[in-house]
Chain A
Amino acid sequence: MVDLKVKIGRMELKNPVMTASGTFGYGIEYQDFIDLSRIGGIVVKGTTLRDRQGNAYPRMAETPSGMLNAVGLQNKGVEYFINNIYPDIKSFETEIFVNVSGSTIDDYIITAEMLNDLDKIPGIELNISCPNVKEGGMAFGTSCLSAAQVVKEVRRVYKKELMVKLSPNVTDICEIAKAVEAEGADSISLINTLLGMAINAEKRIPVLSTVTGGLSGPAVKPVALRMVWQVAKAVKVPIIGMGGIMNATDAIEFLLAGASAIQIGTANFIDPTVSIKVLEGIEAYLVRHKFSSVNDIIGALEV
């Protein structure tokens, strides 16, 4: 029996396999396909203080080995989440994180405060990296000053696991990581999507209604892996790595690069059972290489 338990900040996950926000709904959407209790954690859809309709259709473009999305944080707001969704998911036997986004620092503070009271939500993932909203989102995550400020303010009111999700659309992601660590982030997740664009040449128009969108899928994996490796060396808090993970080998690469846990995103759309396959693949790898614990391979890259 290999030990799959990992520590991320102030909490322990039964295994390092999580699902990424915006790709896994509220978990409910996947119940027909998998046993949710087997995965380490779920990060539910980006939640904002108020209801958001998101951007106009079309919001998605398939690109080589990936996709662009411009959903724009469509959700019914934190109050709706607490009253209507939380009661249905709180019995899931996995750790449920809520991804929190906002247009202003006050939005972030109020939303985090409201979620702090929910027993079965052990943590939030602070989204300072959404590229698809006009104000807020990525605007907070692309300068050290604003990233530090929003983390500092949320840290004051939020008492549980505070995971901060970083944008790759910056010059030096390590500087941002250090800034959020200094203000009390318990863990850091990365990467959010890379800003990209697709064009319909025949019609001479952009494919997305917003012109630009966030790129995800295996196309971004090398970039994500590099950033996880750099950030893992730059900070002491645990890293949750993501970006184009399609199978167990991809996930193991992120662990070797220094991630203590991983999130699976876009791959869920293609194979809704992929998270279980990744989990089983990690376990098989550990057995095959005679490691007794998944912790033995975290940051074990030999350079």
Chain B
Amino acid sequence: MKKEMLDLIVKENKKLNDQYFLLILGSDTILPEMYPGQFVEVRVDNSPETFLRRPISINFVDYLKNELWLLVQIVGEGTRKLSLCKQGDLLNLLLPLGNSFTIPSTTDSKLLLVGGGVGIAPLLFLGTKLKEKGIECDFLLGGRSRDNLLQLDDFSAYGNVYTTTEDGSFGEKGFVTNHSILTNKKYDLIYTCGPTPMMKAVAAYAKSTNTECEVSLENTMACGFGACLCCVTDSTNGHVCVCTEGPVFNISKLKW
């Protein structure tokens, strides 16, 4: 898949709450084909503090409207600057980068998509692709509180949505790995994206139940296309770049 550098137009910057915003980007040309799990590298600007691009996973691609959605959490200076984007601004992106989640070949697979915080972002795109293939899935989404559970209405269009919050303000109280769905239902494949401790807990659950599991890692990186070798993770093949060998890894390939 050819990687491109494109200037995309900010069609909308939706503030979801104090921490999260959704950038809806458009283009005059047809957006390249992208797959769930892949990411983009966004150039913030030339200010000294935000020197490098920011890797952001693809939240959704609307090919009918030629739109790319990026769900972003404000975690530092780069994402804070991005949160100030206005309609009509141009953003320079490298895309599509990285590998993607495995889409099962059969439609009867039982799939669970587990997301935490802003890690839910690529799972929406994955859910839409699974639905296109006629595969049903369950979403298990967790956050610290109700404010960290995002896009619930969007998710519910593509599968059953189960939720947890650490403070009990919405859904079941506790972590995603405490949710009753995990004891009530058996899955063939679990996909997860979110904070590392959460993904490690999900991976441990998957191992204990002999379930296939794919995780999406989020290491800091400079280039995003395999040149700088900064974003490595320790795998069964030694140090590999998260940006090219990942971001999606089967847990059997990781030293978790």
Tell me the count of chain A residues lying within 8 A, CB to CB, of chain B: 34
Most buried by B among A62, A66, A74: A62
- Inter-subunit contact A272/B51 (CB<8 Å): no
- Inter-subunit contact A64/B48 (CB<8 Å): yes
Contacts of A272 in B (CB 8 A): 5, 94, 223, 225
| Given A32-B2, A69-B230, A272-B94, also A62-B51 (CB < 8 A) | yes
> A168 at interface (Cβ–Cβ under 8 A)?
no
Contacts of A60 in B (CB 8 A): 220-222, 228, 230-231
> B239 at interface (Cβ–Cβ under 8 A)?
yes
Q: Which residue of B lies closest to A30 (CB)?
A: B227
| Given A57-B219, A60-B221, also A270-B229 (CB < 8 A) | no
Contacts of B3 in A (CB 8 A): 32-33
> B43 at interface (Cβ–Cβ under 8 A)?
yes
Contacts of A65 in B (CB 8 A): 48, 51
Shortest distance between the CB of B150 and any CB in chain A (Å): 25
Contacts of B108 in A (CB 8 A): none
Contacts of A59 in B (CB 8 A): 229-230, 232
> A295 at interface (Cβ–Cβ under 8 A)?
no
Q: Which residue of A lies closest to B43 (CB)?
A: A270
- Inter-subunit contact B220/A58 (CB<8 Å): yes
Main secondary structure on A side of the interface with B: loop
Contacts of A269 in B (CB 8 A): 52-53, 222-223, 227-228
Q: How far is the CA of A60 from the CA of B225 in the complex (A)?
A: 15
Type the 1/0 row for A34-60, where 1 means its CB is closer than 8 Å to any CB of B: 000000000001000000011011111
Type the 1/0 row for A253-286, where 1 means its CB is closer than 8 Å to any CB of B: 0000000000000101111110000000000000
Contacts of A136 in B (CB 8 A): none
> A29 at interface (Cβ–Cβ under 8 A)?
yes
Q: How far is the CA of A25 from the CA of B225 in the complex (A)?
A: 10
Contacts of A66 in B (CB 8 A): 51
Contacts of B48 in A (CB 8 A): 64-65
Contacts of B231 in A (CB 8 A): 57, 60
- Inter-subunit contact B232/A29 (CB<8 Å): no
Contacts of B221 in A (CB 8 A): 60
Shortest distance between the CB of A6 and any CB in chain B (Å): 25
> B226 at interface (Cβ–Cβ under 8 A)?
yes
Shortest distance between the CB of B205 and any CB in chain A (Å): 24
> B33 at interface (Cβ–Cβ under 8 A)?
no
- Inter-subunit contact A57/B232 (CB<8 Å): yes
Contacts of B232 in A (CB 8 A): 54, 57, 59, 74
> B49 at interface (Cβ–Cβ under 8 A)?
yes
Interface residues of B in 40-73 (CB under 8 A from A): 43, 48-53
Q: How far is the CA of A241 from the CA of B243 in the complex (A)?
A: 30
Partner of A74, one of B51, B219, B233, B239: B239
- Inter-subunit contact B51/A64 (CB<8 Å): yes
Shortest distance between the CB of B90 and any CB in chain A (Å): 15
Contacts of B229 in A (CB 8 A): 22, 45, 54, 59, 71, 74
> B238 at interface (Cβ–Cβ under 8 A)?
yes
Shortest distance between the CB of B46 and any CB in chain A (Å): 9
Contacts of A266 in B (CB 8 A): 222
> A158 at interface (Cβ–Cβ under 8 A)?
no
Q: How far is the CA of A64 from the CA of B219 in the complex (A)?
A: 20
- Inter-subunit contact A270/B51 (CB<8 Å): yes
Q: How far is the CA of A210 from the CA of B48 in the complex (A)?
A: 24
12 contacts between A and B (CB under 8 A): A33-B4, A54-B229, A59-B229, A60-B228, A64-B48, A69-B228, A69-B230, A74-B229, A74-B239, A269-B53, A269-B223, A272-B5
Where the two chains meet, the residues of B that have a C-beta atom closer than 8 Å to any C-beta of A are 2-5, 43, 48-53, 94, 219-223, 225-234, 238-239
Those 9 A-B pairs whose CB atoms lie nearest each other, nearest first: A60-B230, A269-B223, A25-B227, A64-B48, A32-B3, A65-B48, A269-B222, A29-B227, A71-B229
